[in-house]
Amino acid sequence: MKKIISLALLLVMVVSVFALTSCGGNDEYVAIDATDLLQEDFGIATKKGDTAMLNAVNEVVNEWVANGTMEKYLDYYTDLADYDAGNGEKPETDLQLEWNFGDKGVITVYTESGFAPFEFLSGNEIVGVDIAIMSEVAERQGKSIEIKDVLFDTIPTCVQTATGEAVGAAGLTINDERRQAVDFSAVYYSSTLVVVSSKKNSFDQISDLKGLKVGVQEGTSGDLIVTDAKGDGHKYEDADGKEVTVKVEIGEVSRYKQYSLAFSDLKNGRIDAIVMDKLPALTMLNLIG
């Protein structure tokens, strides 16, 4: 069930965590791995049956993962998001940051810009790892990209119903529900869900959230898992193939369009915790004071 890439990117996650927790940021809040959940894999969503686009995306993803370029982009955009928030110096890189787009067609890239380092606003431009992947795909095909910033939970439907070539590039977790609407590329990053809370009242399991008020971004894996756990239970197979069920009587689930809104409510005591992906959570704690 796990992909080899998950091991290849483990070092990226460790290095990112160290860098993000040791350079400023918000020291009153923590993001702790949810130990009762399974690691999740990110992929680019393509239209069902669009083999040409899927192959083109996989060519870039597999190459960048194998040669270390993906790791470099993750590090660069993490540092850039930190710099944009007023921390440290602007990062320097020899990575390609501008692409020579052609006129052989346009690929619409559906994303949600509040998920650094995968996509975020830098100045007036949406940048990030996902945008870099799709820019490279477009350049190799002699095409260009058009970025559309939409609500996260609408992205699979947007890709499915688009009239031209389209993808969803937004740190999308590969799961069976989304596979009903789209196809997924090879995995380019593996993430652990975390529980964001105050240091004084921290949690390391979804099961710890019994009776509490929990925030999630609408349509994300955190939303789906928390909803399942509060209902009949969230089920998955562990590394040994054994079915695990996480069931907890969460007091209340609040759904937000952006994580920054959830974090504001956390700071103001309106919710007790946020369930979200690890690297964006650590980046968020650095960006929001």
Residue 5 pLDDT? 36
In this model, does residue 17 exceed pLDDT 70? no
Q: How far apart are CA 207 and CA 115, in angstroms?
A: 25
Cα angle 100, 173, 19 (rounded to 5 degrees) comes to 75
Q: How far apart are CA 175 and CA 43, in angstroms?
A: 10
In this model, does residue 54 exceed pLDDT 60? yes
Q: What is the mean pLDDT of residues 25-38?
A: 85
Percent of the chain with pLDDT over 90: 78
Q: What is the pLDDT of residues 71-92, one digit of tens each?
A: 999 999 999 998 998 888 999 9
- List of domains in the chain: 26-39+192-287 (3.40.190.10), 41-190 (3.40.190.10)
Q: How far apart are CA 56 and CA 249, in angstroms?
A: 44
Cα angle 258, 260, 261 (rounded to 5 degrees) comes to 75
In this model, does residue 271 exceed pLDDT 90? yes
Residue 169 pLDDT? 98
Q: Are 34 and 205 in contact (CB under 8 A)?
A: yes
**DSSP H/E element including 235:** strand 234-237
- How many other CB atoms are found less than 10 A from the CB of residue 39? 17
Residue 3 pLDDT? 33
Q: What is the mean pLDDT of residues 25-43?
A: 87
In this model, does residue 113 exceed pLDDT 80? yes
Confirm whether pTM is higher than 0.85: no
Q: What is the mean pLDDT of residues 211-231?
A: 95
In this model, does residue 18 exceed pLDDT 80? no
Q: What is the mean pLDDT of residues 8-17?
A: 35
Q: How far apart are CA 211 and CA 47, in angstroms?
A: 40
Q: How far apart are CA 75 and CA 53, in angstroms?
A: 27
